[in-house]
Amino acid sequence: MDNSRIEKIIERIKAKDVRVVSRLIRNIEDRIPEAKEIVKRIYPYTGGAKVIGITGAPGAGKSTITDFLITSFRKKGKTVGVLAVDPTSPFTGGALLGDRVRMQSHAGDDGVFIRSLATRGALGGLSAAVEDAIYVLDFMGKDIIIVETVGTGQSEVDIMNNAHTILVVLTPGMGDDVQTIKAGIMEIADIFVINKGDHPNTTKLYMDLMRALDMVQSFPGNWRPPIVKLESIANPIKFAQQVDELREKIEEHFRFLEDKDIFEERERRKARVQLINAVKSQMLYPILERLEEDGELEKMIKGIVKKEASPYNYAEDIRERFLREEV
Amino acid sequence: MDNSRIEKIIERIKAKDVRVVSRLIRNIEDRIPEAKEIVKRIYPYTGGAKVIGITGAPGAGKSTITDFLITSFRKKGKTVGVLAVDPTSPFTGGALLGDRVRMQSHAGDDGVFIRSLATRGALGGLSAAVEDAIYVLDFMGKDIIIVETVGTGQSEVDIMNNAHTILVVLTPGMGDDVQTIKAGIMEIADIFVINKGDHPNTTKLYMDLMRALDMVQSFPGNWRPPIVKLESIANPIKFAQQVDELREKIEEHFRFLEDKDIFEERERRKARVQLINAVKSQMLYPILERLEEDGELEKMIKGIVKKEASPYNYAEDIRERFLREEV
C-alpha cells in the first residue's frame, strides 16, 4: 500500500475535505483495503464525538427529526455528521434520494456532513461499514454524529450498538403499541420519541409505553428512558421547539453516561461488536471471496442443491483447509 | 458422539415424535454439536416440503394469517409445520406467548407442529437455526412449512431466503406506502398480502403497490407478484374464504416454480446463504468462543476501548493465529 498516499488522505480528512471523506466512505462500503488501512491508523485519535442512534419503523419520521436535530445542534455551535443507513437495494433508490434531498436544507453549511450508506454485495458487512464511517467523521472533527437506520432486525441492533445515545421513534396509529413490545429494540432505547403526537391515539401509545417501562425491574444506572412527544411537522416552529427539548434530553443522557461511568460499559459493548465484525471482514469474507474466485463456492452450492452433502459438511472441509489444527 | 443415540433420535423424528423434535429444535438454537450432527445426517433425505415465508411489519397480522393458512392447508389434507421467528429478547416474552396461545386452536391436531425460535446469545446465528429447523420439519414429513418473521433487516431477508414462496404482508394506515418502498423486501416478495383491507386507505395502498410493480422492468420467469386483499378478521368466515384464495395463489406459485425451473435457482440462492452460515458456525463462532474462554477476547475488548489498537489490528492477530498462511 502506498504509504505517502495514505498519509495524504489522512491529512485531507483532518482538513475536513468533504470530497476526500465522501470518497473514503464509499471505499469503506466497497471494502477497499486502503480504506481499512486508513481507519486503522486514525482509530487511536478518535473518541471525541458523541454518537446518536435513531431508529424506528419506516415512515416514523426519523429523517425529519434528524433534520431538525441538526439545526438544533448547529444553533449550539456543534458540528454534525449524519450517516443515513438504508439496508436496501437499487429498487429503493428513489426513496433514499427523496430523503437526502430533504436534508439538503443544510447543504450550504460546512458544519454539517450527510452521507447515506447501503448494503453492498451479498456478504453483508453494513454494520462494519457504519462503524468505520463513524470513525472517519469523528476524526474529521464532528462533535455530534447521528446514525439513522430503519427497522428492527439484528443488523440494525448491531448498528445501534455504535451509539452512545439511542432514540427509538414511535408513532401512534401505526400499530406501534404492538411494535413497541415486539421490536426487540425496547431494551436498547435511551430515549423514546413519540412522533406525530397530534394523532388521537397518542395518549394510548404513551400509556402503553409507560406501562411497559413500569414492568422493567431496574434500569442500568437508574436511567429510565424518558418519553419525548413531538407534534406534527405541520407547525414547524412548535416542532423545532420540541426538538430543542429533545436535544436537551440527549445532552442530559450524555452527561448521565459520563457521570455514571456507564460510558465505558457502552464502549465495551461496542468494542465487542466491532471486534466480531472485524474478524468477519478479515477472515470470513476473504476465505469466501477466495473460494468464489476459484469456482469452488459454485461447486459446493451445486452439491448442496443436489443434496450430495449438507452445508455443514462443506463448511467442515473449508475449516480443515483454512484453519490451523489448534481450534 | 454417541452414534446409536443419534440413530435413535433420527428414528423418533421420522416417527413424528413431537417431544423429540421440540427438544432437537431447542438444541439447534443452543448450537449443541449433537443437533448439528443430526441435521447433517438427515439433510440428504430432505427436500419434500414446500416452505412459505411470511414477513411484514409488527402488528400487520402475520400470526392471524398463518393461523388461517394452517386451517386452509389442513382442509386440503396437507400437514403443516410453523416456525415463528422472533429476533428479540426476554423482555418480549409476553407478546410471543400471546401469539402462541392464539395458535393453540390447532393444539389437538397432530398434523400441525408450531414452534417459536428466538435469538440466543450475542453471536447471532438465528438464520442458521431456522434453516436447520426447516430440515427437521421437512424430514419429519410436514408437507408445508410456514416461517413467520417480523421485520425488514438483513437477518429477516436471510431467513426469507429459505422459503420457496415469500408473502409480504402490508396494512393500510400504518405508513405502509412508505414502507413498501423502504423495506428492502419488495424484490423478494412473491405475493403481496394487504391485510385489514376494510381500512379506508386500502385503495391508495393497492394503487401505490401496483404503481411500484409497474416500474419493475422484468420479473424473474415473468412472475409478477399478485396482490391479495384480506378484509378484517371481524368477519372470520369471509376472512377464511379470502385466505383460501391466498392459499390457491401460493399453490399457483409452487407450480410456477416447478414449471419454470426457477425452483433450482431459488435452491441455489438458499444454498449460498446456508453455506455462509455454516462457515460462520463452523469457523467463526468456535474461534470467538475459544478466545472468550481464554479471556483473550476480554483483553482485546479492553485494548479497543482504550484505543490501544483498532478492532482490525486485533482481527489481524486472530487471523494470523488461526488461519493457515495460504489465504
- A313 alpha carbon, distance to own chain's centre: 35
Length of chain A, in residues: 327
Look at residue B55 and tell me if it is in a domain: yes
Look at residue A69 and tell me if it is in a domain: yes
Judging contacts by C-beta atoms under 8 Å, the chain B residues touching residue A178 are 58-59, 95
Residues B114 and B161 in one domain: yes
Residues B166 and B312 in one domain: no
Residues B58 and B168 in one domain: yes
What confidence category does residue A43 fall into, taking pLDDT thresholds of 50, 70 and 90? very high
Residues B240 and B290 in one domain: no
Decide the pairing of beta strands B144-150 and A112-118.
unpaired
Find the CB nearest A323 among B86, B183, B322. B322
* Record: contact B40-A151, CB cut-off 8 A: no
CATH number of the structural domain spanning residue B85? 3.40.50.300
- A1 alpha carbon, distance to own chain's centre: 29
Look at residue B222 and tell me if it is in a domain: yes
Look at residue A278 and tell me if it is in a domain: no
Residues B290 and B244 in one domain: no
Residues B172 and B243 in one domain: yes
Look at residue B133 and tell me if it is in a domain: yes
Say what the pLDDT of residue B175 is. Answer: 55
Mutate to test the interface with A, among B55, B63, B88 (most CBs of A within 10 A): B88
pLDDT, one tens digit per residue, over A65-116 is 999 999 999 999 999 999 988 655 433 343 444 445 556 677 778 899 998 8
Judging contacts by C-beta atoms under 8 Å, the chain B residues touching residue A327 are 283, 286-287, 290, 322
Please give the interface size between A and B, counted as residue pairs whose CB atoms are below 8 Å apart. 290
Say what the pLDDT of residue A185 is. Answer: 62
Residues B249 and B102 in one domain: yes
| Domain residue limits at B300 | 277-322
Among B241, B263, B285, the domain boundary falls at B263
Which segment, A80-84, A151-155, A199-203, B154-158, is predicted with the most confidence on average? A80-84
In angstroms, rounded to a whole number, what is the distance separating the alpha carbons of residues B175 and B201?
10
* Record: contact B301-A268, CB cut-off 8 A: yes
Residues B152 and B297 in one domain: no
Look at residue B14 and tell me if it is in a domain: no
* Record: contact B310-A173, CB cut-off 8 A: no
Residues B175 and B311 in one domain: no
Over chain A, what is the mean pLDDT?
84
Residue identified by cell 448521565 is A256
| Residues in contact with A200: Cβ distance below 8 Å, sequence separation at least 6, in sequence order | A172, A173
Say what the pLDDT of residue B102 is. Answer: 52
Say what the pLDDT of residue A156 is. Answer: 67
Residues B188 and B165 in one domain: yes
Mutate to test the interface with A, among B40, B156, B282 (most CBs of A within 10 A): B282
Look at residue B9 and tell me if it is in a domain: no
One DSSP character per residue, A61-104 reads -HHHHHHHHHHHHHHTT--EEEEEEE---GGGHHHHHHHHHHGG
Say what the pLDDT of residue A205 is. Answer: 84
Residues B210 and B293 in one domain: no
Say what the pLDDT of residue B127 is. Answer: 76
Say what the pLDDT of residue B156 is. Answer: 67
What confidence category does residue A255 fall into, taking pLDDT thresholds of 50, 70 and 90? very high
| Residues in contact with B325: Cβ distance below 8 Å, sequence separation at least 6, in sequence order | none
**B202 CA: distance to closest CA in chain A (Å):** 14
ipTM of the complex in this document: 0.73
| Number of domains present in the structure of chain B | 2
Strand order of the β-sheet with A144-150 is A112-118, A80-86, A144-150, A50-56, A165-170, A191-194, A227-229
In angstroms, rounded to a whole number, what is the distance separating the alpha carbons of residues B124 and B130?
12
**A75 CA: distance to closest CA in chain B (Å):** 31
CB B278 within 8 A of CB A315: yes
Look at residue A32 and tell me if it is in a domain: no
- Tell me the pTM: 0.66
Say what the pLDDT of residue A57 is. Answer: 75
CB A112 within 8 A of CB A123: no
Q: pLDDT truncated to tens, each residue of chain B (327 aa)?
A: 789 999 999 999 999 999 999 999 989 988 888 998 999 999 999 989 999 999 887 778 888 999 999 999 999 999 999 998 865 543 334 344 444 555 667 777 889 999 888 755 444 567 778 889 999 999 999 999 999 987 555 566 677 878 899 999 988 866 554 444 444 566 788 999 999 888 888 888 888 888 878 877 778 788 999 999 999 888 999 999 999 999 999 999 999 998 767 778 788 888 888 888 888 878 888 898 889 999 999 999 999 988 899 998 999 999 999 988 766
Predicted confidence (pLDDT) at residue A220 exceeds the cutoff of 60: yes
Tell me the sheet residues that pair with A81: A113, A145
Say what the pLDDT of residue B208 is. Answer: 81
Q: What angle do CA B125, B127, B130 make, to 5 degrees?
A: 110
* Record: contact B323-A321, CB cut-off 8 A: no
Burial (0-12, 13-18, 19+ Cβ within 10 Å), B327? middle
Mutate to test the interface with A, among B39, B135, B182, B265 (most CBs of A within 10 A): B182
Query: Among B137, B115, B119, B135, which Cα is nearest to B127's?
Result: B119
CB A16 within 8 A of CB A141: yes
Say what the pLDDT of residue B313 is. Answer: 92
Residues B208 and B90 in one domain: yes
